[in-house]
Amino acid sequence: MKTRVLSRLFILILFLLSSNSCIERDFKDLKDIPKFEEVGGKNLINRFEIGRYFNNKKSFNWQDTEVPKDIGVVMVDSLYKPVDYYYFKKFNKWFNNLLFNNGIMSVDPKQSLDCDNFAMLYKSLFGVASYANGKDIEFAVAVVVVEQKNEFGGIPKGYLHMLNLVFTNKDWYIFEPQTGKYIELHKYPNQKYIKYIIL
């Protein structure tokens, strides 16, 4: 059931993205989704862990954070696998190349291709990477809804914004999928304005 829903979501995203321009897109890069090799660490992320950290205003490794205690957290699955930090970097490079090679750029974005589309595409492709790498548990990559009070990652301040939160084995990173910039959650300038985390 989950695989079928993920497949339909992925096909819908590809259809929507391919209808936005006259650039010929073939998404051949999808066959090259990065391979993941297990390097130890069996810790999983669940609702209890998320609540334990955020209810105590903590981030990875019990670092202080200004993320509000009353944020909305939606977890579609019950367990998630932390992302190996080096795989995170490898995946980001692949993701950036996929966007560039297919002409999916955030230059003068329209509402049909703005922050929410990039954030959901990034999360969805990480889900595909979990599946393609034979994992039973999806990688811990979330979509974050935030009030963009401060500029971050080349995106100016404004109203509501969507980007990603990647739970790695090194730290928890806010990732801006439109520019490829990332920062530790506890250093993110808009952390106290986070509204929702959707895993």
- Residues 16, 124: contact at Cβ < 8 Å? no
Return the minimum-mean-pLDDT range out of 34-43, 105-114, 150-159, 163-172: 105-114
- Residues 67, 54: contact at Cβ < 8 Å? yes
In order of 128, 145, 179, the CA distances from 134 in angstroms are 10, 29, 29
The residue type at 114: D
Highest-confidence segment of 81-95, 108-122, 123-137: 81-95
Q: For 4-149, list the strands marked E by DSSP.
A: 45-46, 72-74, 79-80, 141-147
Q: Crossing angle of helices 85-101/115-132, nearest 10°?
A: 120
Does 12 or 173 have the greater pLDDT score?
173
Model confidence at 187, pLDDT cuts 50, 70, 90, reads: very high
d(CA 130, CA 187) in angstroms, rounded, equals 28
- Which residue ranges form the domains of the chain, and what is each CATH number? 2-17+44-198 (3.30.460.70)
Mean pLDDT across the stretch 73-102? 87
Quote the pTM value.
Answer: 0.79
Q: Is the dihedral of CA 133, 137, 140, 146 positive or negative?
A: positive
Q: Is the dihedral of CA 95, 96, 101, 102 positive or negative?
A: positive
Specify the residue for token string 């200004």. 66
Q: Crossing angle of helices 115-132/2-18, nearest 10°?
A: 140
87 φ, ψ (degrees, to nearest 5): -70, -40
pLDDT reported for residue 1: 55
